[in-house]
Amino acid sequence: MTENAMRGVVRAFCDALAVRAPELFSTVLDDNIEWTIFGPVDLFPFFGQRRGKAAVMAAFEDMSAHLSIIRAEKEIVMVDGERAAGLVRINAVDMFSGRTLSLRLALFAEFRNAKLVSLKALFDSFDAVEQSLGRQIDLSRVA
């Protein structure tokens, strides 16, 4: 996959998040995609591991029920053959608390035959939890 093609996939992902239209992204997903978002599934149930296009699309629907995406923009994209890494900033409203969240997401993707076959994503989940709760978590008692 060329760098321009990868940028197109990242753009489609960001657009799909921003306008809550996962069908914009579904065309680049392989039927057997492996999708993992590392983070606190108790707070964000759409995190975790999904396998297959239908499961990923269901996670997108679940995400829309929990977060109203205000903005999603790519900060950095690096491409090496059929592998890519990127940093995306997402601004969203937590639908349950009403709080505005500013999250950074690191993406690691692998493509085959111009389809996304694997995506691993990492959030600064501690920061996300604090923002969602609306307070800092005191770790001094734990340390």
Please answer whether residues 50 and 35 qualify as being in contact, where contact means their C-beta atoms are separated by less than 8 angstroms. Answer: yes
DSSP assignment, residue 129? H
- Per-domain residue ranges for the chain? 3-133
pLDDT for residue 143 is more than 70? no
Average pLDDT over residues 84-113: 88
Give the predicted TM-score (pTM) of the model: 0.78
3-state secondary structure of 38: strand
The pLDDT value recorded for residue 138 is 75
CATH no. for 3-133: 3.10.450.50
Sheet arrangement for strand 48-51: 48-51, 29-38, 115-123, 100-112, 83-94, 67-80
Whether pLDDT at 36 is above 80: yes
Q: What burial class does residue 140 get, using C-beta atoms within 10 Å of its C-beta: 0-12 exposed, 13-18 middle, 19+ buried? A: exposed
- Going by pLDDT thresholds of 50, 70 and 90, the confidence category of residue 54 is very high
